Amino acid sequence: MHKPPALNPFAPAAPASRPGWLRYASPARFYPLAGRLIPWLALAAALFGAAGLYVGLVVAPVDSQQGEVYRILFIHVAAAWMSMFLYLVMALYAALGLVLQTRLSFMMMRALAPTGALFTFVTLWTGALWGKPTWGAWWVWDARLTSELILLFLYLGFMALQAASDDPRRGDRGGAILLLAGVVNVPIIYFSVRWWNTLHQGASINLTTAPSMAHVMLGAMLLMVAAFWLYSAAVGLARVRDIIAEREPAAVQAAMQAEEKAR
């Protein structure tokens, strides 16, 4: 009778399947999950955005000093927060990609860049609209404005580097290094009004003191932040699906077929 081969106690054990959400670190597995999340995130973004605009433009009272023009800040501040937040998220993905060599990290890094650049542009544009009646000038070389403009150049430089590279892997590494080198600009943007005597007004919200604005104004601003965050997630997932489909079409097709069979 045929005997089964003896087990080698020194042989490496077979790798265990990734438990829970860790299996979605694979781009092919993440692809269908992202597709299911996008409609819900987009719907939530629309609802929060509509609520934020209604509270900010209709419910919130007129500011005693700035008048009606202050309502621009409900979009301006939320966009500014997202411009910095998305860059930090991209830098985190860049570090994970370089250290752990995770393909999905590099893809997410690429997918978030256009949205971050968009919010940075909106920040500068709405800031100019608010600055003209408030300061009397569309633009001044203020520390915060200048560092926010540098952030826009970092986003554009990252996207240009990705577009110019023929090798996606080389472009990923180069873009990740650029992101990590430029991350020092984010705390400069945030703390510039404390470190230098700038024309830009100080923060209305921080973690150590109570907010200096009325609760209804704070509510409108937080609603817009939530809307922009949900929008960024929906658009980022839609864009990363395109990147995954472009880089790993066979794996995506196999994953989709496996999911259909599981149903």
- 198-220 pLDDT tens trace: 555 555 555 444 455 678 888 99
How many residues are recorded in the chain? 263
Whether the pLDDT of residue 81 is over 80: the answer is yes
What is the predicted pLDDT for the residue at 69? 80
What is the predicted pLDDT for the residue at 194? 66
Decide if 205 is inside a domain.
no
Block residue for tokens 């020194």 = 10
* Bigger pLDDT: 25 vs 99: 99
Decide if 12 is inside a domain.
no
Decide if 8 is inside a domain.
no
Decide if 83 is inside a domain.
yes
The total number of structural domains that make up the chain: 1
CA separation, residue 100 to residues 13, 189, 200 (Å): 21, 29, 40
What percentage of the chain exceeds 70 in pLDDT?
Answer: 80
Q: Which residues of 61-81 are buried (b: 16+ CB within 10 A; e: fewer)?
A: eeeeeeeeebbbbbbbbbbbb
Q: How many CB atoms lie within 10 A of CB 50?
A: 12
CB 123 within 8 A of CB 79: yes
- 153-199 pLDDT tens trace: 999 999 999 989 888 889 999 999 999 999 999 999 888 666 555 55
Q: Which residues of 199-237 are buried (b: 16+ CB within 10 A; e: fewer)?
A: ebeeeeeeeeeeeebeeebbbbbbbbbbbbbbbbbbbbb
Decide if 38 is inside a domain.
yes
Which tokens sit at 42?
């987009």
- The band of 225, judged by pLDDT with boundaries at 50, 70 and 90, is very high
Q: d(Cα 170, Cα 176) in Å, to the nearest integer? A: 10
What is the predicted pLDDT for the residue at 224? 95
Whether the pLDDT of residue 18 is over 70: the answer is no
* 30-39, 58-67, 140-149: least confident range: 58-67
The values of phi and psi at residue 255, to 5°, are: -65, -40
Decide if 149 is inside a domain.
yes
- 21-58 pLDDT tens trace: 566 678 888 888 899 999 999 999 999 999 999 999 89
Decide if 148 is inside a domain.
yes
Whether the pLDDT of residue 10 is over 50: the answer is no
Whether the pLDDT of residue 16 is over 50: the answer is no
- The band of 148, judged by pLDDT with boundaries at 50, 70 and 90, is very high
What is the predicted pLDDT for the residue at 208? 45
Q: d(Cα 150, Cα 156) in Å, to the nearest integer? A: 10
* Bigger pLDDT: 231 vs 139: 231
Decide if 223 is inside a domain.
yes
Q: d(Cα 82, Cα 236) in Å, to the nearest integer? A: 13
Range of the domain at 160: 31-200+212-248
Residue at 66: amino acid letter:
Q
CB 105 within 8 A of CB 96: yes
What is the predicted pLDDT for the residue at 22? 65
